[in-house]
Structure 1
Amino acid sequence: MSIVDALDRVCRRLDEIRACVRWAEAIVREGGSDAERRASNEIRAASFIAACGAMEQFFRAFVEWLCGEIGQSGLRYVEIRLSLHSIASSGDFRSLQSLRERDPMFGRRMDLLNRTVSTKSCSLKVPRDELGLGGETIRPGQVSNVWAVFGLPGSGFEDLGQEVAMRVLADSRNDYAHGRVDISTFLAHPECEPSRFLDRISALEEWCFHCWSAGLEYLDSQGYRR
């Protein structure tokens, strides 16, 4: 999937979530039936999970886009920035965590280091369970890790509001999804007030475009070179 397609998908998904939340808000305001009010509450609570899911899908697509573009650049391993070898040598790093025998361990260490000066064309692919991209709720720390690994320009967030929005939605989503609070207690929190929630997802939508802009700048300047 292209990054433009990923942006289109996340924006459409957030529009759907907005529409659902506004409907739920209208039901409460206009005094709907008991069944409608219960449905309204379920929709408002589920919207946190849906919004976080949209962020997870987009961020995964963003990282895969960067990896794909770097791979298509034709650069060799010796030419890419050293931090990118944490992805290129992901398998070796992971195996070193479990190796205990001396000879295999040193052999794997040498393989890893030799790859940093290899003249073979580089190939980057982030395993689904690394960098928090395997279905975990995206948090600011994971964004910072991706920025550091790739050497992306600027910060992972355009402003503090985007970072706060991500943290608030992640915390709220987990509290509800993991049953730490019941739905009534959850929706009584100020962050669950519809207008506040809509502001948060607008900030995250802007964050998606910030990622895209930073990625374009990075690729145009060949920031992945050593």
Structure 2
Amino acid sequence: MTEGIEQAHVEFLSRTMLIRRWLILQGEGEVEGFSPEMAANVRGWAIVWMGAAAESFWKPFLHATCKAFAQSSVMAHRRNARAQSIFFLERMFCDVTKELNPRWERSFALIESMVSADRKDMSFSLPYDGKTLRPRHIELFWNLFRIDGSPFPSIIHKQSLETLADDRNTVAHGEQLPNTVGRLRSKRDVMSTLTRLEETLEKTYLATLDVLR
């Protein structure tokens, strides 16, 4: 039931491993053809690649988690009423007539579906807007599945993810060149950001496996 969740995490780590290799190869100066300009470019692009790795992980991870929840037992569904919103969110907020009978009939159908419908055959909504991964996305996920504790290993991890998203968008949207952003970050800084990203997503990954057991 958790194969898709585990696969998303494995693929994420394979991407971060490649980013780490590039950062190791860049050196701290002119090493094997990596001039200071080239090294700054590597650091700048590493930030963009980290953001891409996080987004490439998050959507399939969410999909696999919601699918696993849908396949879980009726008792598991009843224990987490809040997570039921993945099945009913769109139906709750879709436009509906103000005519008396159709309005009430829709509420009857929605309530009956909440109580008795087989979740295994129901579509679901992902708790994600498709934007650059930020702390608020992770906090929403933990809130949805009622996971205890903080989503982040430390407040620094939370701040680091927010800064990563800002820097990623600055380059990806053409507001600054990669080497401009890269010059503002040492190799150690970028490595630390990468490590914190791995630790943050690993915490959510492990917590999710515990919730679904």
Coarse TM-score class (shorter-chain normalised): 0.7 to 0.9
**Structure 1 unaligned regions, length at least 5:** 221-226
**Rounded Cα–Cα distance in structure 1 between residues aligned with 2:179 and 2:14:** 29
1:32 aligns with 2:33: yes
**Rounded Cα–Cα distance in structure 1 between residues aligned with 2:97 and 2:43:** 50
SS in 1 for 2:115: coil
CA contact under 8 A between 2:42 and 2:182: conserved in structure 1?
Answer: no
1:43–1:71 distance in 2 versus 1, CA, 3 Å: same
Partner of 1:122: 119
Higher relative contact order (CA 8 A, sep 6+): 2
Residue 12 of structure 1 aligns with an amino acid whose one-letter code is: S
**Rounded Cα–Cα distance in structure 1 between residues aligned with 2:76 and 2:17:** 41
Partner of 2:173: 178
Residue 195 of structure 2 aligns with an amino acid whose one-letter code is: S
What is the TM-score when the length of structure 1 is the normalising length? Answer: 0.78
CA contact under 8 A between 1:132 and 1:138: conserved in structure 2?
Answer: no
**Rounded Cα–Cα distance in structure 1 between residues aligned with 2:26 and 2:92:** 48
Partner of 2:49: 50
Residue 194 of structure 1 aligns with an amino acid whose one-letter code is: K
Select between 73-82 and 180-189 the one with higher mean Cα deviation. Answer: 73-82
Runs of 4+ in 1 over 6 A off after TM superposition: none
SS in 1 for 2:119: coil
1:2-81 equivalence runs, <5 A: 2-26=4-28, 28-30=29-31, 32=33, 38-75=37-74, 79=78, 81=80
Q: How many residues align?
A: 209
**Structure 2 unaligned regions, length at least 5:** none
1:165 aligns with 2:167: no
What is the TM-score when the length of structure 2 is the normalising length? Answer: 0.82
1:90-101 equivalence runs, <5 A: 90-96=89-95, 99=96, 101=98
**Rounded Cα–Cα distance in structure 1 between residues aligned with 2:77 and 2:191:** 46
**Rounded Cα–Cα distance in structure 1 between residues aligned with 2:77 and 2:163:** 41
1:169-219 Cα offsets, whole Å, 9 max, x none, are 101101111122234432232xx2211111111111112221122112212
How much has 1:17 moved relative to structure 2?
Answer: 0.3
Partner of 2:191: 198
SS in 1 for 2:94: helix
Residue 194 of structure 2 aligns with an amino acid whose one-letter code is: I
